[in-house]
Amino acid sequence: MKVLIVIVVAILVLLAEVQSKKPFQVNQESISDWLAEENLKLEQPYDVYETFQVLLERVKLWATGELDSIEKNGMNEDVTFGEEYPYWNFLPQNLGAAIPNRAAYLIQGAKCFDYEVFAEWESDDLLSVKLTASSKHHLEKLCTDHLLLESGTSFLVEHVSEEGVYEYEWEVPDDAIDSERWDLDQKGVRINHFLHSPAISYKNILKTLLLFVPEFSANPPSYFFEMNREFLESYTEFSYPERDPSLNVDLDDADINSGDLFSLIRFNGLSSTLSWGMGSTSSHTTAALWIGGQLYVVESTMANVCE
């Protein structure tokens, strides 16, 4: 659940139009400032379900507003859902990295341009990053790559629509820890690209959010469960036919042995996403265990592991 909250917060920030060419530093203070600006008045410690529900609503309002803005500004852009795979089709894919003090090299895979990347340390706390964009082929119409440059402490969104040299100064935050400095020095600035334009990505966010309606609704329409089934059947090789009620069996305790497995899946967005991510037909498992003549259903949780 916490992973999904991080994803929602990250996408809300990453897909926003960042006008400055200076990388945005991500730290506790900047996240707290953003929460304050969005009026996310949540009591600490945060209730995970309440937090996620509020964030989902914020993302929905934000993405809807972005689409309205595009329409009002008369941008003739295809804003259909991301082809036949809209769910989670707003997450960027990695192209490569600009690693300090190494020879410049070519990265490919973006829609419009190839990029020669180079990075070098200007000082102990300042990394210079340079991208040289060159056309992969003759462009008959405007073509734009939507890039995300990021490290463990900062990120920058760049929209490249023409050939040329793009340079950035990547500052190391004052509060960066040793592992973050090591990561920037050894792994460099990652260069990712969004598969679609912001307009299509906004719509794909909204489409993905609809998967989670059953998680936070008492009696959601069956349409949302069907949407989750469509998601799983189109993104995996599994099928989920309706179960014949006559096949249901009521078990007595005596029929259950230690080690018997109980697994389930809920078409509620969260469960179906976990199932997809794990490559499994279920999202949650437990096991039967007889102790002192008493039947228990046990599970392993992160809290237990950490203790």
Q: Output the pLDDT for position 46.
A: 47
Domains of the chain: 1-91+198-210 (no CATH), 93-193 (2.60.40), 215-306 (no CATH)
Phi, psi of 167 (to 5 degrees): -120, 145
Residue 150 in this model has a pLDDT that exceeds 60: yes
Summarised one tens digit per residue, pLDDT across range 11-23 is 555 444 444 556 6
Could you give the CA distance from residue 70 to residue 199 in angstroms, rounded to a whole number? 7
User: Would strands 113-123 and 126-135 be described as parallel, antiparallel, or unpaired?
Assistant: antiparallel
Q: Output the pLDDT for position 111.
A: 87
Chain-centroid distance of CA 172 in Å reads 24
Q: What share of the chain is helix, strand, coil (3-state, %, to 5)?
A: 35, 25, 40
Q: Output the pLDDT for position 89.
A: 87
Q: Which two tokens stand for residue 188?
A: 């460099």
Q: Output the pLDDT for position 232.
A: 94
First to last CA, the chain: 19
Count of CB atoms situated within 10 Å of the CB of 50: 12
Q: Output the pLDDT for position 272.
A: 92
**pLDDT above 70 coverage of the chain, percent:** 69
Could you give the CA distance from residue 301 to residue 95 in angstroms, rounded to a whole number? 35
Summarised one tens digit per residue, pLDDT across range 170-216 is 988 888 889 999 999 999 999 999 988 877 887 788 788 888 888 87
